[in-house]
Amino acid sequence: MRISLLDRARTRVGEPDAETITATVDRAVRAEQLGFSRFWTAEHHAVPGIAISAPSLLLAAVGARTQRIRLGTGGIMVPNHRPLVIAEQALLLEALAPGRIDLGLGGSLGFTAPVRQALGRTVLRDGEYAAEVAEVRDYLHGRAGLTARPRTAAPPMFLLAIKDGLSLAARLGLPAVVGGPLLGNTAALGRYFADFRPSDTAPEPYLIASVEVSVADDAGRARELLLPEAWAHADSRDVGEFRPLQPLEEVRELLAKASPKKAAAVRSFTASAVTGTPEQVAGQLERLLERTGAAEIMPSVSAYDRADVAAADDFLASLID
């Protein structure tokens, strides 16, 4: 099984953001030692629960402490940047870590209206995202009116399956990363493979399945470890922001007093994740690959206690071919 890691630098209540970033870099170093294929980081702005706003800067730090593992942006949100700047940052990372950079791109706007206003993009019109993705690729490959520097090999591009990303990936001949409800949309996944147009950089379709994973010796314990993340997602609908992870004991107390609607949202999030004992999780991941046609799994592990995250990493590494 080909497995990579997605780390969103989830913050914890009472923990300085700098400590979160340090932990993310340390996890990347350990991921290389464990044999993972890739280590990707995401982009979020002004979100209390996530410490990464500039994945390219973070990956430069990770690259300086690793030698083999591929490093990727999962992803850079194209609406927040000019295509030239995205290409320049990707090429600089490639120059610093030759042959190890993946440029994952997404089309999401900021999480809230104030964030979107601060970033200078409040609306994404039809066709804009596709045009800007194509422009990034032209800069990477030296086909634009300006020469993006440093001139070096172009890192491979991946599209996150948001903002029509899956059909756009097929049209542009790019690998795609799929997560959330779309993993269950067999029709959309099938169209990606059927409609894929081979490109110079990707002669065949390539799909990565991204899923939340929680594993423990007991299936009930595995579901419990996911509760802080599930609560943060459910709570964000009420408070309008994605908050740091809270200790499991606090979440249990909050759930006991939660409205039926919020409790249902927590259960829904947990049900959508891959959870259970090592044997159960291994089986679920195998079936996910078979059902989606994905070639690779990219789990996100968000337990409150980082020792539980490390234990999950150890288990996932044991599944690597």
CA dist 30 → 23, 34, 103, 107, 299 (Å): 10, 6, 22, 30, 15
Mean pLDDT score across all residues of the chain: 95
Q: What share of the chain is helix, strand, coil (3-state, %, to 5)?
A: 50, 15, 35
Q: pLDDT tens for residues 16-61?
A: 999 999 999 999 999 999 999 999 999 999 999 999 999 999 999 9
Rounded distance, CA 12 to CA 119, Å?
25
Q: What residue ranges do the domains of the chain occupy?
A: 5-215+277-318, 227-272
Q: pLDDT tens for residues 110-130?
A: 888 999 999 999 998 889 999
Average pLDDT over residues 251-279: 96
| Bridge partners for 160 per DSSP | 177
The two three-digit tokens of residue 158, written as one number: 């991946």
Instruction: Say what the pTM is.
Output: 0.95
Q: pLDDT tens for residues 77-120?
A: 999 999 999 999 999 999 999 999 999 999 999 888 999 999 99
Q: pLDDT tens for residues 207-245?
A: 999 999 999 999 999 999 999 999 999 999 888 889 999
Is the distance from CB of 277 to CB of 194 less than 8 angstroms? no
> Which pLDDT does position 124 carry in this prediction?
87
Domain range 5-215+277-318, CATH architecture: Alpha-Beta Barrel (3.20)
Rounded distance, CA 21 to CA 33, Å?
19
The yes-or-no verdict on residue 131 having pLDDT over 90 is yes
> Which pLDDT does position 321 carry in this prediction?
78
The yes-or-no verdict on residue 150 having pLDDT over 70 is yes
Which ranges of 161-305 does DSSP label H, i.e. alpha helix? 165-172, 186-195, 219-225, 227-239, 248-257, 260-272, 278-292
Please spell the DSSP secondary structure of 284-296, one letter per residue: HHHHHHHHH--SE
Average pLDDT over residues 196-202: 94
